[in-house]
Every structure is written in C-alpha cells, then in structure tokens.
Structure 1
Amino acid sequence: MRGTGMRWGMMVGLMAMTAAGAAGCGGSGGTPHAAAKTARRTKPAPVKPAPGRLTFDLVRGIGGTAFAGDRACGYGEWNNGTFAIGKPYSQQTSFYREYSCYEKKGEVFPNAAGQMSYAEFGTPAQATAYGNYTKTNISAVAVLVSENTAVTMNIGYLTVNKMTLLKQVQDTCGGCGTVIAGPHASDPVPGHVDKS
C-alpha cells in the first residue's frame, strides 16, 4: 500500500508540472502547438555572401578561358607589358599583367594588345583614381575597382563581349568592387561606332 501511495503522489506531481509547463508555453492564452507553428513559419532572412577578393588567379582563369575561345585571337598570353596602362598609373602599380592576342605564337607585336589588364595599386585611392580616369580613356570598355585592385577591359578586334566578361569576373568574386563604365561600355565588341 505504501508503495502505491508514493507512486500516486509522484503521478500527481508530474501532472501538475505538465499543466504548469503547458500554460507557460502558450504565453497569453496560447497553446504549445500554436507557438511551435509560429516558430516554424518564421524563416530567417537569407544571408548575402560577403564579397570575395579580386585576385590575379581568378582574373587569369576567366579571361584566359574566354579569349582562348575567341576566333580572332590566334594566340594569347598574359604578360607584364604596358600597352594598356599609361603614366602616372603604371608607376603606381605593385603588380601588373595584361592579356594580349597575337596572330600566332612567337610574334613580337600583338594584333590586339592589352585586351584585359589586372593591376594592384599601392593604395585603394590610387585604384579609384585609375578607375575614374577610365571614364574618359578612349580605348576603355569598363574597369572593375575593388580595394587596391583594378581589372580593365579594352576595345579591340576580339568577338568576346567585354562588358559581359567583366561582370562575370565580378560575379565570381562574390560581387566585389564597382564597375566603372568607359566610353565603349555600350559597344564592347568589334563593329562599334567610335563616339569620341
């Protein structure tokens, strides 16, 4: 009998605790099920990925692939020439490469020089100044400026849409930087009408 009384007392205590917990879960008159449904319906806002970093390896891969498939580029390569960047900007870079196309390998002069360039400047302010200069550079399609780095697309004989290619670079680095349009942003492929 004594064991039965203890069990009965424990059951009454558990029921009281369950009732109190149920009353507390619903808040002001709600039920535990309503609170659970509300929690399931409320989804967190999607988190936008942080922009990545613009690097030469990223640009080299995207640009090299695009230009290699261009029928107007018999042979292309990244080099440290300065066809596509003039003074004082060329003197402010700590690292510079440009992609040029030749009719065939071994030629001294490219037939489409500096189609795409990648430059790392000493400071973000220098990269921004270069980007702003591109607005008036008569050979520029556009430039992507991100921190102290700038990627420039220049008009030439190739059939690749340079504006599309630059936006692909920006998308690949997670939306990094700002695209600054140049004089040929609206006509980034051969057959353009020179508006300058």
Structure 2
Amino acid sequence: MKRLLIATAVAGATLLLTAACGGDDKKTDDKAVPAAATSAPASAAPAESAQPSGSAKPSGSAAAGKGVQFEKIAQLTGDLFTKDEMCPVGKWDSNSTGVPSKYRSAVANFKQFDCYKKKGDFMPSRGQQAIFVEFKAANAAKAYAQEEAKMYPVLLAGNTVVVAGTGLPNTDMKAYLQAVQETAGGAGEILAKA
C-alpha cells in the first residue's frame, strides 16, 4: 500500500511539473528584454563557409548541427516584439498552415508569433512576425530555410528553423535572430536575403 501511495504521489507531481513547464504557450509576458536582444549588433559578418543555393548569405558558427529549443526563444521573442508599437499584444500559435504544404509532412513542431492590437482580438493585426519550425530531418529544415531566406532573415540550426517574419518597424529582425542564435549557444547559421 505504501508503494502505491508513493508511486501515485510521484506520478501526480510529475504531471503537475509537466503541465507547469510545457503545454501550449499562448501567453505574452511583460518582462524586460534580455540583454542579448538589445545588445546584438545590427549586422553579422559573412562567414567563409559554403554558401547554400539561392540568394541567401550564411553567417554562423561551427555548432550548426545543434537545434534551437522553442522554450528558450519563446519569451525572448514576446518580450522584444511587444515593445514595438505595432505589436502591443503578441502570442504564439500552433497553426501549421503557416508552413507551405510541401513541407508540412516533414514538420515535427510549428509555432508562429502573431501580433494583436488588443488582448482578446480574434484576428492578428500582423501575422507570423516570427516562425519556429522543428523538422523531423535536417535536410527538410535546410530546404525550407533556404526558400524562406529569399524573403526573410532566417536562422537554420540543425533540424530547426526560426524565420524573422515580415518585420516590425522598430525591431531589428536580424539582431533578433542573432539574439536567438546566442540563446541557442551560438548554434546554426543566419541566412539573409541578398
């Protein structure tokens, strides 16, 4: 009986911790922007590594095989973007229709950060200001990143891609990606349109 009570208590505690740490991140925090987001330089020096096909130019580190964890960038994104007057309220959504249909079957996890004029609005005023995609395989991530980099700044790290969306007027989207890369321990390479 004692073992059953201990096992039940451990299972309950595990469920509570999982619920507190995980789940669908639909909140926007109003905390200060981490120093990495405000101190990142406006542009990155081009790397001497092989350039991917398309018009993208890489910059990054040797840690390109390591992916980005969504939990590590979720708050950084919300804190930075909601400081822009065009994004007073923001939230992450998991609507994977934001990925072109040819890549959807390769997606393991998808999140997009949308901006709203006020809390409770049903439709965003600015959609997909940031996109986080975790792919099942690194080759799918690379193909998607190269395609997106023709239009937007992109961070490719292993099997994850962070796209800096259409841009906010008072937010340096390339500096945002550099802060994301720093949060990921310098992993990956930043691809930017020419």
What's the TM-score bracket when you normalise by the shorter of the two chains?
0.5 to 0.7
SS in 2 for 1:69: coil
1:154 lines up with 2:165 in the alignment? yes
Q: Give, in angstroms, the shift of residue 135 of structure 1.
A: 3.0
Contact 1:73 1:158 in 2 (8 A): no
Gapped regions of structure 2 (runs ≥ 5): 1-60
Write the distance in 1 (CA, Å) between the matches of 2:104 and 2:113.
Answer: 16
* Equivalent residue number for residue 179 of structure 1: 190
Identity %: 27
Q: Give, in angstroms, the shift of residue 182 of structure 1.
A: 3.0
1:86 lines up with 2:100 in the alignment? yes
SS in 1 for 2:74: helix
Gapped regions of structure 1 (runs ≥ 5): 1-48, 184-196
Contact 1:76 1:102 in 2 (8 A): yes
Q: Give, in angstroms, the shift of residue 90 of structure 1.
A: 2.9
SS in 1 for 2:140: helix
* Equivalent residue number for residue 115 of structure 2: 101
* Equivalent residue number for residue 165 of structure 1: 176
Contact 1:134 1:180 in 2 (8 A): no
Q: Give, in angstroms, the shift of residue 143 of structure 1.
A: 0.9
**Cα separation, partners in 2 of 1:65 and 1:109, compared to 1, 3 Å:** same
**Cα separation, partners in 2 of 1:113 and 1:82, compared to 1, 3 Å:** farther
SS in 1 for 2:85: coil
* Equivalent residue number for residue 143 of structure 2: 129
SS in 2 for 1:96: strand
Write the distance in 1 (CA, Å) between the matches of 2:92 and 2:126.
Answer: 12
- Larger RCO, structures 1/2 (Cα 8 Å, 6+ apart): 2
Q: Give, in angstroms, the shift of residue 70 of structure 1.
A: 1.6
> Any residues of structure 2 matched to 1:1-196 within 5 Å, and which?
51=63, 53-82=67-96, 84-137=98-151, 140=152, 142-182=153-193
Bigger CA radius of gyration: 1
SS in 1 for 2:105: helix
TM-score of the superposed pair, with normalisation by structure 2: 0.62
| Stretches of 4+ aligned residues off by more than 3 angstroms | 49-53
Give aligned pairs, total: 132
Write the distance in 2 (CA, Å) between the matches of 1:105 and 1:90.
Answer: 30
**Cα separation, partners in 2 of 1:181 and 1:83, compared to 1, 3 Å:** farther
SS in 2 for 1:151: strand
* One-letter amino acid of the counterpart of residue 169, structure 1: V
* One-letter amino acid of the counterpart of residue 119, structure 2: K
TM-score of the superposed pair, with normalisation by structure 1: 0.61
